[in-house]
């Protein structure tokens, strides 16, 4: 359901698909895991300059951490804060992993033409004039990556349960893209892909 700028927008994003929307500065963006253990690949672009985009590496550099807490911001590749974390009922997300893509499924699972976050995001962002990048490097909501003492990174089942959510404030006008990750071959989504909910509430006048 699309609405005008002054009204709340609510979209149920089916399992294994993507969605994109323009949000204005000050809007509250809530992403809800409807059934639990569903990863969401989340990207954001400056609505006035698509070259200024969400960057997990820069965010970790500024935060000096691979975890983000309410009150902290997600940064762009130009070191500009794009989103502020307002509420988070889970507290465990991922900045390490790039978006899954068809080649990944071929290499890791011997499956061709698999649905992917890379394709979902490209398709969702196209109407906004955002060209497909060589790869998407998202903020992976609800994804749980575990780092051991030797530096090994394992992706395990998310901690999120039905109804858990993340709420962020847009610090500038943005185009955001989301993909309900279609990987059911690993514990990334608890071996089962489900729908997610996006709610955007504009800043009150």
pLDDT digits (tens, 9 = 90+) for 78-98: 999 999 999 999 999 999 999
Residue 112 has φ and ψ, to the nearest 5°, of -105, 155
- pLDDT at position 204 is 75
User: Domain spans of the chain?
Assistant: 9-201
Give 103's pLDDT tier (boundaries 50, 70, 90).
very high
- pLDDT at position 5 is 47
Which two structure tokens, joined as six digits, stand for 167? 């709420």
- pLDDT at position 7 is 78
Q: How many residues does this entry show for the chain? A: 205
- pLDDT at position 176 is 99
First to last CA, the chain: 22
- β-sheet bridge partners, residue 174: 23, 46
Q: Cα separation of 114 and 184, whole Å?
A: 11
Q: What is the mean pLDDT of the chain?
A: 96
Q: Cα separation of 72 and 83, whole Å?
A: 9
Asked if residues 195 and 180 have their Cβ atoms less than 8 Å apart, the reply is yes
- β-sheet bridge partners, residue 29: 168, 200
pLDDT, tens digit (0-9, with 9 covering 90-100), for 119-152: 999 999 999 999 999 999 999 999 999 999 999 9
pLDDT, tens digit (0-9, with 9 covering 90-100), for 146-173: 999 999 999 999 999 999 999 999 999 9
Positive or negative, the CA dihedral 172, 144, 100, 117 is negative
pLDDT, tens digit (0-9, with 9 covering 90-100), for 24-70: 999 999 999 999 999 999 999 999 999 999 999 999 999 999 999 99
Report yes or no on whether pTM surpasses 0.85: yes
Taking only Cα atoms into account, the Rg of the chain, rounded to an integer number of angstroms, comes to 16
SS3 84: strand
Q: Is 40 exposed, middle or buried (0-12, 13-18, 19+ CB in 10 A)?
A: buried
């Amino acid at each position: 359901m699309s609405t005008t700028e002054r009204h709340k927008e609510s979209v149920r994003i089916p399992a294994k698909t993507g969605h994109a929307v323009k949000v204005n500065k000050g809007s509250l963006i809530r992403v809800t895991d409807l059934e639990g253990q569903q990863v969401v690949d989340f990207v954001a672009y400056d609505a006035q300059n698509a070259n200024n985009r969400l960057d997990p590496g820069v965010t970790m550099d500024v935060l000096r951490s691979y975890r983000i807490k309410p009150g902290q911001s997600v940064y762009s590749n130009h070191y500009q804060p794009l989103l502020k974390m307002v509420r988070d009922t889970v507290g465990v997300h991922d900045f390490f992993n790039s978006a899954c893509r068809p080649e990944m499924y071929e290499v890791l699972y011997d499956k061709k033409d698999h649905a992917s976050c890379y394709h979902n995001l490209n398709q969702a962002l196209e109407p906004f004039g955002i060209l497909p990048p060589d790869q998407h490097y998202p903020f992976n909501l609800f994804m749980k990556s575990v780092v051991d003492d030797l530096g090994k990174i394992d992706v395990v089942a998310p901690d999120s349960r039905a109804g858990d959510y993340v709420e962020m404030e847009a610090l500038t006008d943005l185009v955001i893209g989301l993909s309900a990750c279609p990987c059911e071959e690993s514990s990334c989504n608890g071996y089962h892909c489900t729908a997610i909910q996006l709610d955007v509430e504009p800043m009150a006048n």
